[in-house]
Structure 1
């Protein structure tokens, strides 16, 4: 767990670390990850489920009852379902998506996969995404998990965070550099 502590922190990190340890003991790391991914996708797709997860208006009992119905309908069971029910009972459902991300980081670390976050101005084509992944694999020297984030504010280009390194090759930062250089000249 000392190794995982450097990757994840806070409430989400503690819950994810505990789940990861249980999943390892049960030889269910991949199964739990699959179930958590399915649950996270359900939350991302449903405004009602997002409201249930985030809103403090719902009681723990209401969240647990609604969550139970969602899990049963989605066919999510076992350790992942028990974990999600516990999170609801402890009134920590608001942090569940961060817990899922933290769990995925722990799994990737265990498998020797480097995590990268790539921010682009618009959704990339599959070819561009494959080229980015190939370039990052070359830099990381191994398998890379890429999390793509869309932020139109960067105008163009990309921002890459790979481990503790960050490269900002966005059009916004280049324009800001030009603006600063023009102020110095004038």
Structure 2
């Protein structure tokens, strides 16, 4: 979907920044209203993507569209996984206003739910106007963290060098669920990731805790020990 545009985009010179056609105002209007305790994000998420994710969460809560927006962002997250070059395209400084309109239209085609409040389309237009489309992938990740917190879930990130068998994932989930790292009345949400760079073993992250059992980590420690000894 997006890969065919990458070559043409890289050959362009930066275009002057123009105002996008007036987008649906629901996101901006909702975001401008004072936030109440019921519409504030349940946790703090940091970075530029965290700021935008928090603003979107608040706007969606005010519009009573939080579940719809969550499903829409899950669809966008899946699009990033299917389209490896998408992030590179969104980060290009040569995107014109027309480019951004086309990209937003393509992104919306991949959204599996109908957002009657137009919160997501308004948000995408806001990112485009602010030259922040490059943070969209991060926004989908931070928004997922906010949703997990609002549902009383504890996110368990398991990174392996190759895809894990579902049985192994279930065993890890069961073990962590019974541990001190999961509070009472909390549900564990497993996020399995693959990173060949760790070479083997696992990296397990839950909350602000990280258990690094990767081969790459062990090799790094061994190399450091050898350097200190020699």
Task: Name the one with the larger helix percent.
Answer: 1
Shift, 1:38, TM fit: 0.6
Partner of 1:21 in structure 2? 58
Q: Distance in 2 between matches of 1:72 and 1:175?
A: 45
- Size of the alignment, in residue pairs? 186
Q: Quick one: which of 139, 164, 170 aligns to 1:130? A: 170
Conserved 8 A contact 1:121-1:150: yes
Partner of 1:84 in structure 2? 124
Q: Which runs of 5+ in 2 are unaligned?
A: 1-34
Larger Rg over CA atoms: 2
Superposed CA RMSD: 2.7
- CA offset digits 1:86-114 (Å, max 9, x no partner): 21222100000111111111111111111
- CA offset digits 1:123-161 (Å, max 9, x no partner): 101111111222222221421222222222322221111
Q: Distance in 2 between matches of 1:79 and 1:137?
A: 35
Match of 1:27, SS state, is: coil
Partner of 1:7 in structure 2? 44
Conserved 8 A contact 2:157-2:192: yes
Structure-1-length-normalised TM-score: 0.83
Q: Which runs of 5+ in 1 are unaligned?
A: none
> Compared with structure 1, are the counterparts of its residues 161 and 47 closer, same or farther at alpha carbon in structure 2 (3 Å cutoff)?
closer
Structure-2-length-normalised TM-score: 0.69
